[in-house]
Amino acid sequence: MIRPHQTIKQLFHLAPGSETTAQGWVKTRRDSKGVHFVQINDGSCFADLQIVLEAGAVAEDVIAKVTTGACIRVKGRMVESPAKGQAVELRGEALELLGAAPPETYPLQKKRHNLETLREFMHFRTRSNTFGAVFRVRNAVSYAIHKFFQERGFLYVHTPILTTSDAEGAGAMFQVTTLDLMNLPRVAGSAAIDFSHDFFSKPAYLTVSGQLEAEIFALAFTNVYTFGPTFRAENSNTPRHLAEFWMIEPEMAFCDLEGDQQLAEEFLKYIITYTMDHCIADLEFFNQRYEPNLIATLENVAGSEFARIPYTEAVRILESSGRQWEFPVHWGSDLQSEHERFLTEETFKKPVIVTDYPKEIKAFYMRENDDGKTVRAMDVLAPGIGEIIGGSQREERLDVLLDKIRAHGLPEEAYTWYLDLRRFGSVPHAGFGLGFERMVMYLTGMKNIRDVIPFPRTPGHAEF
Ligand code: 4AD
Ligand code: MG
C-alpha cells in the first residue's frame, strides 16, 4: 500500500537525527568529488530539500537519471546542514527513481524561463518556483476568504453556473446549447431559432455573476456570500481579463452603500494580513523576483484607510490633472484603466473607493440616488491593477426597479422573480464582487492574470 506521505514542509520540522523518507521532483543535481547534491521539491513549501548522497550510495546508472524533473524517493536521516540558507538536509542512504525525465526532451530545464514560455507548458509550470508560490498563495487566499465570512456568520450559497438570466444585463454571456448547430430548429415561418427544442427548453448561458440569486438568499438569510466560477464572453485581450474567472460575492440585507464599503475594506485587509501571516516565504520570493515594493505595499495597505471619493470628484481630479489621456474624461464617461491607475498610483498612492457613478454606465439593479443622475455604486480600485471590486446598494423599490429594467431595454418577464423580491418583504440591501484573480495578482505582484489561474481561458485560448 502506498499512503499519503509526510511532505517536505513537514520534514523540515523533524529533529536532526530522525530517520525518514523524502519524495519529490528534482530541481537540480550537482556532483562534487563523487558526492551527489540533489534538490527536490514537492510543492508543500517554497524551500527545496537538499539531499546529500555519499559516493557509492547510489548506482551510477541510477544517479545518471536523477535529472531536473525526475521523481525520486530517498530514505535517509535528517541532519543539521552545513550549507547556508537551510537548517537541515537529508543524508540519503537509498534512492529509488520513480519517474525519469529525460533531459533531451523535458521542457523545463534548470535555467530560468520567462512567464510566456512557461504558459506553453501549463502541465509543468506548476513545478517552477514562481507557479509553486502563486498557487500556494491562491490556496491560502481561498481559505482566508471562507474564514473571513464564516467568522462573521455569513452563509455560503452555491449559485447556479448554468443560468437562464443575465445578471449584469450586459449580454456578454457564453450560450450553452445541445442543439445540432448544423441543423437548427426554426420557429414556424421565421428564421428565429426555436429554443423549445433545446436542453432547457429555452436559451441558457454560463453565469456572469451569482449576484441576483445571492439576493434571493440575502433576503432570507441576511448575510450570504458566493465563491465560484463566472464567465464573460467579452473579447478583451488584456492582462486583467479572463473569459473564466472566480468571483466572491457577499450580499447583505439591512445594509447600504456605507456598510458595503466598510465590509469591502475590512475584507481586503483581512486577506492581505492572512496571506502575509501564512505565505511569507512565497511573498518574499515575489518581492525579490518581481515586485521590489510588494511586502512594504501590502503592509501599508493593511494598515491604512482606503481613500473614498464620489465619481464626480474623481472626474474633477482627472480633468484637472494636466494629463493627455488616451481616453478623454468628462462627466458621464466610464473610467478606463489609465484613469483608475492615476487615482490609485499618483493621487492617493493607495486603494481608492469610487462611489456614485452616472446611472448610464452602471447595471440596472443599482439603487438610484435622489439626484436622478447617479446610482449607489462603488468600485474599489487598487494600485497596479485598477478595478478589483465592483459593487452597489441594490434598488429595493419596485416601481423604480421596473422603470430601470425598461430603461435598460431588458426583458421584464425574465426578471419576474427578481421583481417579486421587491413585491414581498423588500429591504435595503447591498453587496459586491471581488475578482479573485485580480486579488491574487495584487498579492503576488504578478502582472498578467493568465499567471494566477491554473488554466487560463482567454479569446483564442482554452487549453486542457
Ligand atoms: O464589476 P463586476 O462586473 O460586478 C459584478 O459582476 C457584480 N454582480 C458584483 C456584485 O455586486 N455582486 O465584476 C466584479 C469584479 C470586478 O471588479 C473584477 O475584479 C472582476 O470581477 N472581473 C474580472 N476578473 C477577471 N476577468 C474578467 N473578465 C473580469 N470581469 C470582472
Ligand atoms: Mg465592474
pLDDT tens, residue by residue, 415-440: 999 999 999 999 999 999 999 999 99
pLDDT digit string (tens) for 58-93? 999 999 999 999 999 999 999 998 888 788 999 999
pLDDT digit string (tens) for 350-381? 999 999 999 999 999 999 999 999 999 999 99
| CATH 2.40.50.140 intervals, the chain | 4-110
pLDDT at res. 1: 61
Residue 441: CA atoms inside 13 Å, Cβ hemisphere, count?
24
Given ligand 1 and candidates 353, 438, 439, which is best to mutate, with the most ligand atoms within 8 Å of its CB? 438
Atom 25 in ligand 1: which residue has the minimum CA distance? Answer: 241
Of all atoms in ligand 1, which is nearest to the CA of residue 388? 19
Whether ligand 1 lies within 6 angstroms of the CB of 166 is answered as no
Q: How confident is the model at residue 30 (pLDDT cuts 50, 70, 90)?
A: very high
CB 164 within 8 A of CB 206: no
Whether 112 shows a pLDDT value over 80: the answer reads no
Residues 233-252, mean pLDDT to the nearest whole number: 96
Whether ligand 1 lies within 6 angstroms of the CB of 209 is answered as yes
Of all atoms in ligand 1, which is nearest to the CA of residue 433? 9
Q: 360 CB contacts (<8 Å, ≥6 apart)?
A: 332
Whether ligand 1 lies within 6 angstroms of the CB of 168 is answered as yes
Ligand 2 centre to CA of 153 (Å) is 26
Of the listed ranges 325-329, 378-382, 410-414, the least confidently predicted one is 410-414
pLDDT at res. 85: 78
Of all atoms in ligand 1, which is nearest to the CA of residue 380? 17
Ligand 1 centre to CA of 389 (Å) is 7
Q: What CATH number does the domain located at 4-110 have? A: 2.40.50.140
Ligand 1 centre to CA of 276 (Å) is 25
- Of 155 and 107, which is predicted with more confidence? 155
Residues 21-31, mean pLDDT to the nearest whole number: 96
| CATH 3.30.930.10 intervals, the chain | 129-173+208-451
Of the listed ranges 165-169, 270-274, 328-332, the least confidently predicted one is 165-169
Whether ligand 1 lies within 6 angstroms of the CB of 212 is answered as no
Q: How confident is the model at residue 95 (pLDDT cuts 50, 70, 90)?
A: very high
The per-residue pLDDT of the chain, averaged, comes to: 95
pLDDT digit string (tens) for 131-148? 999 999 999 999 999 999
pLDDT at res. 84: 81
Ligand 1 centre to CA of 221 (Å) is 23
pLDDT at res. 2: 65
Atom 31 in ligand 1: which residue has the minimum CA distance? Answer: 435
pLDDT at res. 384: 87
Ligand 2 centre to CA of 363 (Å) is 9
Whether 166 shows a pLDDT value over 90: the answer reads no
- Fold type of domain 129-173+208-451: BirA Bifunctional Protein; domain 2 (3.30.930)
Ligand 1 centre to CA of 381 (Å) is 12
